[in-house]
Structure 1
Amino acid sequence: MNYVCFWKLLLYQSDKKKFTKSTAVRHFVTGLFLPAGVSGFRCEEGGMRPLCSRSGRPQVATPVIDRFLIHIGCAVLYLREFQASGNSTNNQSKNMEYGTIKLTDVDMLHKVFRGFRSHDGVGWLFRGHAQASWELLPKAGRPEFYLPDNRDLGRFHNWTKSAVAYTSLSSSYLEQLALAQHHGLATRLLDWSMNPLVACYFACSDHADRDGAIWMYEMGDTLMTDQITQDTLKGCHGVFGYIPKAAFPRIINQKGLFTVHCDAAHAIGVKESRLGNGDPNLICLHIPANLKPDIVKLLADYGIDRTHLFPDLDGLSAHINAATARMRKPGSGD
């Protein structure tokens, strides 16, 4: 008896004929309510055709078990097709590239930042690079400081043993890491700000002859808390967010927070934004070198300078030195 069973339906997919959602539904219904007098179905280019005798009359009706097999076969084929389509979409998402915006004038900054809000650290974050070529990795993940197998945490442990001679340490492991990061130790924390103007300052205040960049990153779904221990951190894999307490003035004035990279060289994964508009969750705003001086002047008008971002004697001294460097010198021709 000629009928299409489960195995033949599976072979249908191997013939590379397009098995769309609409045809899947049609065959599903047909298999469930197989018309009387039709013994089965044949795979053809236009779809499934009823099997009839040479006289044109339908052959012997298909037994119930065959109808059941056809019904199951159609369902399985559709699920396989759907799964393959989903996997393809996921692979494209995982392999997305970060977005790029090139700044053409200073006024464009306002237009760009209106589209990216921090929402107190759970939206977009901002980080400035004085050189656009710098990698988006924490210091402990860069070649000159990288130690594999969580050995960067061993370096941090050695730091804490000596640091207690200078200051009291928090009971929170991540707060201790943030303090070490604050004082220049190579850690797996990467600094970000909720304020895009802070990122602008760091992108434009140094290396005036080089193009800069502002990285804009949509905070991931997973945040670390102060309950994280060293052992827990060793077992983590990926990039996580960490919003610290206001432990020191720089964190407050810079509206600072961190990404925690496990391990230290683990790069931020680029995927589609939570907005679902096809844009990536990581975007680089490219700043030409010739725009840097005007941006620094604009930021100063808004009160964003080194004395604000570094509210201590070091910041005050650096601010006065930078102002002196911008002064017109006698005989310079300016």
Structure 2
Amino acid sequence: MALRITRPVHRVASVSDFVQFVLNWSRNGQRPVAFRGERFTDWQTQPKVFRRDVGIYDHEKKAVRDLISVHPQEFRDDETMFDRLVRMQHYELPTRLLDVTINPLVALYFAAEEYKVDDEPQDGKVQALFLPDERQRYFDSDRVSCMANLANLTADEKKEMATAEKLPKGEFNETTIAKRLLWFVRIEKPHFEPLIDPQHLRLPVFVRPKMSNRRIIAQSGAFIIYGARRLRRSEVDTDLRLLRVIVPAEKKAAIREELERLGVHASSLFPEIDKAAGFIVKRYANC
């Protein structure tokens, strides 16, 4: 997807500098919907399932089925496909979800992680995401159900969907692939009417999830869910805007130390016991 990104206007010098910048961060009077931190500025912002180097897009349905098949008990309380995708994301299976946070300090933590290319430390970035209200939904939204269940389609079915989504709404809902998607949606919403808007399957949507696991709560987590296909670079999403600031490589260590003093560290953001143990070992090994 081609995203219009304003070139960096600020390089973060400290946590307090970042906070001051965030307090005034806006676009045309709108405050950011969410934030995303990445430890390398050159990474393209997209879900892992769409990344060509990951190579799982054509096997998305099988990957989803395999994980549920191997660990069915983990998914027994999940009511919807979106719930299952959130859990899969938690266990690092590539999905069509992109992790974001509503807490800018959490995004700064991830952007301040060390990263090297050819032994050279690299800058990180914090991105602010701006989306209009009509592109924001909750976990139980009908639109989110339709988008999440795209993960149940085979590679050939997703190609068929990419063609069908260009049709008018009435014609689209008469196609075989629309009826196939409807079948999956009705598993979780039996009374769902066959009135899917194909335009709602094309563009990413910001989703406020259930605060149903400790990591989402700790990270003030949310998600961007992506649609039926990879958008070509020439296709600009005119509503989604990513503005960013740079976290310089030489400032990362100091920023991480400041964040730790504020209670933002691996143990607080990853509340699983193995993460806490690793953080404690690292803390005392440096004494």
TM-score range, shorter chain: 0.5 to 0.7
Deviation string for 1:114-134 (max 9, x for gaps)? 0238xxxx9431111111111
Do 1:187 and 1:264's aligned partners in 2 also have CA atoms closer than 8 Å?
no
Map of 1:252 onto structure 2: 217
Do 1:125 and 1:219's aligned partners in 2 also have CA atoms closer than 8 Å?
no
TM superposition score normalised by structure 2: 0.68
In the alignment, is residue 192 of structure 1 matched against residue 100 of structure 2? yes
Aligned partner letter, 1:290: E
Map of 1:212 onto structure 2: 124
1:264 Cα deviation (Å)?
5.9
Question: How many pairs does the alignment contain?
Answer: 222
Map of 2:76 onto structure 1: 168
How large is the Cα RMSD of the aligned pairs?
2.9
Map of 1:284 onto structure 2: 244
Map of 1:116 onto structure 2: 25
The secondary structure found in structure 2 opposite 1:103 is coil
Aligned partner letter, 1:138: P
In the alignment, is residue 181 of structure 1 matched against residue 94 of structure 2? no
1:196 Cα deviation (Å)?
0.4
Higher mean Cα deviation, 159-168 or 187-196? Answer: 159-168
Deviation string for 1:173-193 (max 9, x for gaps)? 101100000110000100000
The secondary structure found in structure 1 opposite 2:46 is coil
Q: In the TM superposition, what are the counterparts of 1:36-115 in structure 2 within 5 Å?
A: 96-106=4-14, 107-115=16-24
CA distance in 1, matches of 2:76, 2:277: 26
Aligned partner letter, 1:203: A
In the alignment, is residue 126 of structure 1 matched against residue 35 of structure 2? yes
1:155 Cα deviation (Å)?
2.2
Do 2:75 and 2:84's aligned partners in 1 also have CA atoms closer than 8 Å?
no
The secondary structure found in structure 2 opposite 1:285 is strand
CA distance in 2, matches of 1:248, 1:298: 27
Do 1:130 and 1:204's aligned partners in 2 also have CA atoms closer than 8 Å?
yes
Deviation string for 1:60-87 (max 9, x for gaps)? xxxxxxxxxxxxxxxxxxxxxxxxxxxx
Q: Which sections of structure 2, spanning at least 5 residues, go unmatched?
A: 150-180, 186-195
Map of 1:316 onto structure 2: 276
TM superposition score normalised by structure 1: 0.59
Aligned partner letter, 1:137: Q
1:142 to 46, 51, 63: 51
Do 1:140 and 1:146's aligned partners in 2 also have CA atoms closer than 8 Å?
yes
1:287 Cα deviation (Å)?
1.2
Q: Which sections of structure 1, spanning at least 5 residues, go unmatched?
A: 1-93, 274-280, 329-334
The secondary structure found in structure 2 opposite 1:238 is coil
